[in-house]
Amino acid sequence: MALGQARRFGGLAALPQVRPQTGQEAAAWLKSNLDGYYSRPARVPPYRSSAAWALRQMDDRFSILRPDTVVLDLGCFPGGWSEVAVERSEVSSSSSRVIGVDSTRMDPMEYHTFIQGDLAKKATTQAILEALGDTRADVVLSDLSPASTGLKQEDHLNSMQCCLHAAKIMERTLKLGGWFALKLTYGSEIGRFRMYLDSRFETVRAIRPAAVRSSRDMFCICKGFIGRQTIASEAKSKNAYTHEGMDRWNGERWLSSQEMLDEDE
């Protein structure tokens, strides 16, 4: 009975049931509401990339981006992560700085410093150090993604290569106690890379934000950078190679294998 008819005959309108009556209705209700929960809110300006929502969700959970911090965004094109970093670190009203690096030129962004260069080259690392000046980054972000081949193992190994480039720059630019957040593709080398991260940070968490659509993409959130230990402190065996860099060869001649063993004793 319609509401008007109910009022005309002095009765009460029959309201439809709010709860789903069948399993199909319940499944449809869950799907529509979950999709709407993780969709972009209309009141929030759109970001340059959908990946920005993954960083927002990680920051909501771990509070990585804060005022008065220096943020280094590796692989920043097209700029979604940098936009979130500028927004969350309150660059416009604090001493925060956001520096983005990518081999592809990005459209200019307010309160943002962009460096164009290949992260695998020393010239790019030098440009980052010059942009940082006398300071070090409080947060290093890496959204580096290789070109997809469609082959799981190759895509995973290419992702690991990007992670190694990001880690190399992180060790040169991140301050002690800082944060490192990076994306990687799941695969066989995850365990070894996780072991490396555990040796450099106090806490390492592997997560997959709800906004991530790819089933193989995941993120590592690393807190409390403790720096790189010397090889001597990491070596446990008696005859392990305990010297680093060229220090071993500063003498007038190279030592034989037996002389090296005798010296270690």
Q: By C-alpha distance, which of 84, 97, 24, 99 is closest to 54?
A: 84
Predicted TM-score (pTM) of this structure: 0.71
pLDDT (tens digit per residue) in 100-121:
999 999 999 999 999 999 999 9
Token pair for residue 26?
Answer: 């319940």
Query: What share of the chain has pLDDT > 90, as a percent?
Result: 59
**Lowest mean pLDDT segment, chosen from 64-68, 168-172, 255-259:** 255-259
How many Cα neighbours within 13 Å face the side chain of 92? Answer: 7
pLDDT value at residue 214? 75
Bridge partners of residue 174, in order along the sequence: 137
Place 227 in a pLDDT band, splitting at 50, 70 and 90. confident
Cα distance between residue 26 and residue 123, in whole Å: 57
Which is it for strands 113-116 and 137-142: parallel, antiparallel or unpaired? unpaired
- At residue 42 the predicted structure's pLDDT band, cuts being 50, 70 and 90, is low
Higher pLDDT among residues 23 and 157, named by residue: 157
| Catalytic annotation, pick one of 152, 183, 223, 236 | 183
* 253 pLDDT above the threshold of 50: no
What's the whole-number average pLDDT of the chain?
81
State which of 40-49, 124-133, 241-250, 255-264 shows the largest mean pLDDT.
Answer: 124-133
The pLDDT of residue 244 is: 42
The dihedral region occupied by 167, where left means phi > 0, alpha psi between -120 and 50, and beta the remainder, is alpha
pLDDT over 90 (residue 260): no
Q: Is 121 in the active site?
A: no
Tell the residue number behind the tokens 């690393």, with chain if given: 222
Residue 1 in this model has a pLDDT that exceeds 80: no
Residue 15 C-alpha from the chain's centroid: 49
pLDDT at residue 138 is higher than 50: yes
CB 219 within 8 A of CB 182: yes
Can you list the domains of the chain with their CATH numbers? 52-225 (3.40.50.150)
Residue 2 to residue 233: CA distance in whole angstroms: 81
